[in-house]
Amino acid sequence: MMSPDSISFLICVVFGLSLAIPSNTCIVMGNLDIIRKKGKLSPTDVIFLAKGIVNLLLQCVLSLQGTLFVLSPEILSIRQLYVFVKLSSNFLTYYNFWLTVWLSAHYCTTITNLSYGFFIWIKRIVSNFLSHLLFLTALGVFIVSVPIIWTLTEDSNLQSSENSTGASNIVFHEKFSYFVAENTLGAILPSCLSFLCLVLTSSFLLRHVWRVKNNDSGSTRPNLQAHVTALRTIFFLLLIFTLFCISRAVMFSHNPSLLTVSWDLQLLSPSVEAAVIFQASNKLRRIILRKFWTRNRRNAET
């Protein structure tokens, strides 16, 4: 009989799949619809499309890993399967983190309009060569993630009882040096860059609002809704980023209850990120609402 933690975990697997798959599929199909009509995506839409694809794959990998961990943990003792699942989850997770960096950098350079040469260069790269940048980022993340194939070590704990023969319980570990390097390049560095973009963007907007309030020329206040939405999007994505990293760190505690909470947070993160993308993109919301409205009208007519 399964424990309450296992039942709760499987419920989150089903709940995460039922939310993440439809929502991220809508993001992907919505951006493909924009390409079909306009032939080109804006930099934010390109990153949202990439995030939708990555979150779809990440949700499937995390759900597979979690389900096997609960229902058939001995299968994860097979080195080839464990390496595949671990490599896939690490690559997709770190690449998603870097997508957040480039989205934050795009918002920051677009909103702040800083005149420093470095920011002008970043703005030009993100605006004109974003697809190349995302491909090179994926290649770099893959290069960082793939050494796990050779850096995994395994411990075999022999368990025996009076009524059964000895059984081997294999546990895999990453070498500490590789673990530090991988998380530094895949998690710590992008978190610092995203936080820097958040600070620069928020400080610029606060200064801008202060100048408008103290403007004696009588000019009307510009609409800052788009800038506020961009700032809110960076904040929420960085918050999801932080909670995901904390949930992974908690997995080292070996506490069953904490492990369940950790896995639940990871399983729900693609769904929450899809919600953040929807609140950030008016075009996606309009496309999805239009499709649902058209489908409901057709169903009503038939």
Domain harbouring 187, CATH code: 1.20.1070.10
How far are the Cα atoms of 17, 247, 278, 286 from residue 282, in angstroms, in the given order?
25, 31, 7, 6
Q: Are 66 and 251 in contact (CB under 8 A)?
A: no
How far are the Cα atoms of 20, 38, 267, 288, 299 from residue 24, in angstroms, in the given order?
6, 21, 14, 12, 24
Domain encompassing residue 103:
4-158+167-301
Look at residue 231 in the predicted model and tell me its pLDDT. Answer: 87
Q: What are phi and psi of 150, to 5 degrees?
A: -105, -10
17-74 pLDDT per residue, tens: 899 999 999 999 988 888 888 878 888 999 999 999 999 999 999 898 888 877 887 7
d(CA 207, CA 204) in angstroms, rounded, equals 5
Q: Which amino acid is at 97?
A: F
With 90 as the cut, is the pLDDT of residue 99 above it?
A: yes
151-186 pLDDT per residue, tens: 777 766 544 334 433 344 567 777 778 888 888 899
Highest mean pLDDT out of 55-69, 132-146, 166-180, 201-215: 132-146
Q: What are phi and psi of 210, to 5 degrees?
A: -65, -40
For the chain, the residue count is 302
Look at residue 302 in the predicted model and tell me its pLDDT. Answer: 57
With 90 as the cut, is the pLDDT of residue 95 above it?
A: yes
Look at residue 218 in the predicted model and tell me its pLDDT. Answer: 46
| Cβ atoms < 10 Å from Cβ of 151 | 15
Look at residue 88 in the predicted model and tell me its pLDDT. Answer: 92
**Percent helix, strand and coil across the chain, each to the nearest 5:** 80, 5, 10
More confident residue, 17 or 299: 17
Kindly report the average pLDDT of the chain as a whole number.
81
The number of domains in the chain is 1
Confidence band of 76 (pLDDT split at 50, 70, 90): confident
Q: Are 289 and 27 in contact (CB under 8 A)?
A: no
Its pTM stands at 0.86
Look at residue 151 in the predicted model and tell me its pLDDT. Answer: 79
With 80 as the cut, is the pLDDT of residue 292 above it?
A: no
Least confident window among 63-67, 130-134, 177-181, 212-216: 212-216
Contacts 24+ apart (CB under 8 A), 112-116: 112/200, 112/201, 112/204, 114/200, 114/204
DSSP designation for 227: H
Residues 107-115 have a mean pLDDT of: 79
Look at residue 168 in the predicted model and tell me its pLDDT. Answer: 47
Q: Are 169 and 159 in contact (CB under 8 A)?
A: yes
More confident residue, 254 or 36: 36
Half-sphere exposure of 282 (CA within 13 A, CB side): 4
